[in-house]
Amino acid sequence: MSDQRRLPFVQFEFAGTLGLEDGRYLARSREATGEPERVLVVRVAAAPEPPRRRLSRAKPRPSAAGAEPATVPLTTLTVITATPLGDADSAERWLARVRDDHELLAAELEAALVLANRAIHAHRATVLDPSLADVDSGRSLAARVGFGDGEQLADGRFAAAIEVPPGSRRRRGQAMRPQERLAAVLGGREAVAACELLLLRARSDLDAERSREAALQLRVGLEALLAERGALRAPGQDEDLAALEARRSITGDAANEALQGELEAERTGEVTETLQLCERVLRRKRALG
């Protein structure tokens, strides 16, 4: 393997299909130069055959008890960085740093997820299918970081890699045990506030670097949170709720700017701070009841 072909990669495996078809997708930077930055390779194993077109609607068939469960497809997403690592020693040192530095490892995983979700977002908008959800490393069956040459990585192989343990792939909120609340909601003893899902969508957009969508979603989410503040009362909430009331103006300004185009870094920072404050209010309510 030549020095110039040792490319870093991040790879995820997910159960099922994500909407993306097999292929290689070149991602360019959003700067004026538009230089190639990364390649997203999508491979779907054991995908079911597409249904044949029928002149009439197919009828449901009897289902036998104890029938074998259907095979679940496996989707592998490999994000390859275009910048080579250099010689073998340099590549091994880079991989060792990633293995030993939790923040660097998290940054590699997050950057790969941003590109993967950028592709899913484009496909979702193209086919007008809101059921196609962003991916999350915590829900992957496997995650690995390593290096290899371009042809290896395009085929799903690599020269060297580390497996990322599930505990290192958890994201915010995944450590919480939701069973009690799920039972309460299904049992009619508790309801999900509208602001909760609106703010989750804002978080998904912000994590995927869709700052315009995040700003627009946050404005509605914040207004819903303030309208539903009576249901969010808990010890320690008053100060944060007052701060959110004071941030309505800048949140509205950010949303108005988002209607015109991409946000400046300062505006994105304001959106991030407001969303974090909203999330703190929701977490406190869940913790304290």
* pLDDT tens digits, 141-190: 999 999 988 888 888 788 889 999 886 655 554 445 567 777 877 888 88
Closest CA to 256 of 222, 207, 215: 215
Q: Which residues contact 159 (CB under 8 A, 6 or more apart)?
A: 1, 6, 91, 146, 147, 148, 149, 152
Classify residue 231 by its DSSP letter. Answer: G
Residues 81 and 222 in one domain: no
Does 229 reside within a domain?
yes
* Share of residues in the chain with pLDDT > 90 (%): 53
Residues 115 and 249 in one domain: no
Does 206 reside within a domain?
yes
Maximal C-alpha separation, the chain: 64
Q: Which residues contact 117 (CB under 8 A, 6 or more apart)?
A: 134, 135, 207, 208
Last residue of a domain, one of 169, 188, 219: 169
Residues 255 and 201 in one domain: yes
Residues 146 and 279 in one domain: no
Q: Which domain range does residue 86 map to? A: 3-47+71-169
Top pLDDT among 185 and 248 is at: 248
Cα 268 to Cα 25, 137, 174, 260, 280: the distances in Å are 28, 24, 25, 14, 18
Does 103 reside within a domain?
yes
Cα 137 to its chain centre, rounded Å, is 7
Residues 138 and 100 in one domain: yes
Confirm if 214 and 205 have CB atoms less than 8 A apart: yes
Residues 157 and 99 in one domain: yes
The amino acid that residue 72 corresponds to is V
Last residue of a domain, one of 113, 136, 169: 169
Residues 152 and 19 in one domain: yes
Top pLDDT among 72 and 251 is at: 251
Q: Is the pLDDT of residue 131 over 80?
A: yes
Does 60 reside within a domain?
no
Does 65 reside within a domain?
no
Does 64 reside within a domain?
no
Helices 211-227 and 237-246, axial angle in degrees (round to 10): 120
Q: Averaged over 227-244, what is the pLDDT?
A: 90
Q: Note the pLDDT of residue 186.
A: 81
Top pLDDT among 51 and 135 is at: 135
Q: Note the pLDDT of residue 82.
A: 84
55-93 pLDDT, tens digit each = 566 677 777 676 677 778 899 999 999 888 988 999 999
Residues 160 and 197 in one domain: no
Residues 146 and 265 in one domain: no
Residues 12 and 122 in one domain: yes
Q: Averaged over 10-37, what is the pLDDT?
A: 81
Residues 8 and 79 in one domain: yes
Closest CA to 77 of 44, 38, 42: 42
Total domains, the chain = 2
Does 58 reside within a domain?
no
Last residue of a domain, one of 169, 203, 234: 169
Q: Note the pLDDT of residue 32.
A: 46
Burial code of 56-81, b = ≥16 C-beta within 10 A, e = fewer?
Answer: eeeeeeeeeeeeeeeeeebbbbbbbb
Does 28 reside within a domain?
yes
Residues 102 and 9 in one domain: yes
Beta-strand pair 23-28/142-148:
unpaired
